[in-house]
Structure 1
């Protein structure tokens, strides 16, 4: 693959990493797709290296996605944060995103979770405690997904280094 092609793949991966933190784009999918395109093109000349790199990166992304859903959900269940509350937070987050681009996503989510918890529990202290747990759970989920994508990117960088 030419230097221009590698730079293009790197740019798509970078956009994917940003898309994980600012959930406007399907971040992990972009990282996966960019590495797949690299493997297909690079696989013509270096098939073993390209496909081993792709397999390792894919395994890291898959593991991160599994952990992303299992670990935070376990923590939120222990804190008694219900799925319905998170859905209300997500709806408020989406509305907030259009009212205040990017920042409104976070503010809307927090407001939505807090208001839904307050309506259910009728206690401001308990509602705020649940809101903090929900925010921690979402942050943990994003952190795990980002860590997996960064590790997959590192594997790809090693693959690029080996093939060039």
Structure 2
């Protein structure tokens, strides 16, 4: 099972279309963690599960979504309502409260993944305005035999970082 996770595209549609074309055949789920700055009817978002970010004034995306793929429960939010630039603790508590094994978020434009108390906290970075590195990134999550592999990739598909996790 594979899941495509993107965030912070800030009005740009070419990158969303590019990643959809690259991964839609293999991805069971495609997530956008907010700040798309697009409306629900925008074709670039077709197929993506989308949440509202702090820069999303068009449309009525939800602030958070609970969804499942490959037997994993995902909590998806942008992150601004959980103060993720200061701490991941509030986000972690909410994910645990929802019974999620994976919490996907954006907002900071900084890629990262870590497991705390059995929950994978994953930020794919930004596909338009990255911070902390020059590469515009997204994440491809794959779960096999209880092991989750997260690949952070550039828009051209090249892997820039990779981590493996066991949620226990």
Is TM (by shorter chain) over 0.5?
A: no
Which protein, 1 or 2, shows the higher relative CO under an 8 Å CA cutoff with sep ≥ 6? Answer: 1
Greater percentage in helix: 1
- What TM-score does the superposition give when structure 2 sets the normalisation length? 0.28
- What TM-score does the superposition give when structure 1 sets the normalisation length? 0.29
